[in-house]
Amino acid sequence: MGLVQRVIEARGIPTVSLSMIPAFTRAVGVPRLAGIAHPLSRPMGRPGDAQGQRAVLRALLGVLESALAPDAYVELPFAWPETPAQARKGANVHPPIEQLLMKKPWLLPRLYSGSIPEGN
Amino acid sequence: MAPPIDSYRFLDFATRQIMRAWVEREARTTRPIPWTPMRRPLSECTVALLTTAGVARNDDLPFDQEGERRDPWWGDPTHRLIAQGTTERDVRLYHMHVDTRFGQEDLDVVLPLRRLEELAQAGLVGRPAPMHYSIMGYQLRTEVLETVTAPAIAGDLVARGVDVVALVPA
């Protein structure tokens, strides 16, 4: 996401990113960033919570006007009503890379280091 | 004052270890950060959104999940256009690393098109752009995303006269 943001900004359009993992997005180096303490998969809030989603979008877009220089970082003041365990409950997410690494755990360091195998 | 956001709090153990390693890796590289100043107040801006949830309209090409199953180090690096007015009934979420139940139930959880329209009605933003953008965020090899997809999206934004873009992760 940060890489795409950088390209759009460099083309002359002001951009802002939301992030649930702001430490990572910020390390990539983006012009404007808003961190939020929401779980993955629910950046804007809970399904059906129009009021909460609207508040997040309004705060996110507000960073476009408040930010003054590159690497602008704001933490949005929204709390999540569940614990991490509750937030993960019922998730059925099994990406192919997880299954591959269970079979071939010696490849895990390549994922850590970003030394990604070439395509077949 | 609230404590700073813990980027790792909601992550499972494996994802937390990977993200910590990636943050360390990125921190060793410093790149100049691009900057374009705002040209007009937000209340006059045409606003486009970009989601990384791998959203594709049902009348468009799906993101390639089969390709990722064949080569788990690969993620579909292409993008899709999502017209303003699109709802959860018109799309599927193809990202295999996130819990798609929530965005599939209510698209505004990942791509807040109705919320954007409401902010425009309230006069806080000028207007929603006619088109918004979707990519699939699992990209370990970033070359195509950076050199083909992102420039294509940027070119389309310029051609459509979009003033500002907000990017929403999944």
Residue A38 lies in a domain: yes
Determine contact, residues A94/B152, Cβ cutoff 8 Å: no
Of A9, A37, A100, the CB nearest to B34: A9
Whether B73 is covered by a domain: the verdict is yes
pLDDT in tens, A62-101: 999 999 999 999 999 999 999 999 999 989 899 999 999 9
ipTM: 0.96
Mean pLDDT of B35-62: 98
DSSP structure string for B65-134: HHHHHH-TT-----EEEEETT--GGGEEE--TTS-THHHHH-GGGTS-HHHHHHHHHTTSSSEE-SEEEE
Q: Residue A120: inside a domain, yes or no?
A: no
Specify if B19 maps to a domain: no
pLDDT > 90 in chain B, percent: 92
Query: In the predicted model, is pLDDT for residue A54 greater than 90?
Result: yes
Report whether pLDDT(A120) > 60. no
B8 Cβ under 8 Å from any chain A Cβ: yes
Residue B83 lies in a domain: yes
**Of the candidates B130, B23, B41, B135, the residue with the CA atom closest to the CA atom of residue B85:** B130
Interface of B with A in 44-83 (CB under 8 A): 45, 47, 50, 52, 68-74
Do B163 and B126 contact (CB within 8 A), yes or no?
Answer: yes
Which residues constitute the domain of residue B77?
42-168
**Reduced DSSP (H G I as helix, E B as strand, rest coil) percent helix, strand, coil of chain B, to 5:** 35, 20, 45
Is residue A86 situated within a structural domain?
A: yes
Return all residues near B79 (Cβ < 8 A) that are at least 6 apart: B133, B134, B135, B149, B152, B153
Query: What would the pLDDT profile of B64-101 be if each residue is shown by its tens digit?
Result: 999 999 999 999 999 999 999 999 999 999 999 999 99
Number of domains in chain A: 1
Domain limits for position A93: 2-113
Residue B62 domain-assigned (yes or no)? yes
pTM of the prediction?
Answer: 0.96
Residue A119 falls within a domain, yes or no? no
Q: Do A14 and B36 touch (CB under 8 A)?
A: yes
Among the partner residues A1, A71, A94, nearest to B33 by beta-carbon distance: A71
Domain count, chain B: 1
Residue B15, C-beta contacts closer than 8 angstroms, at least 6 positions apart: none
Does residue B16 lie within any of the structural domains?
no
Q: With cut-offs at 50, 70 and 90, classify the pLDDT of residue B2.
A: low
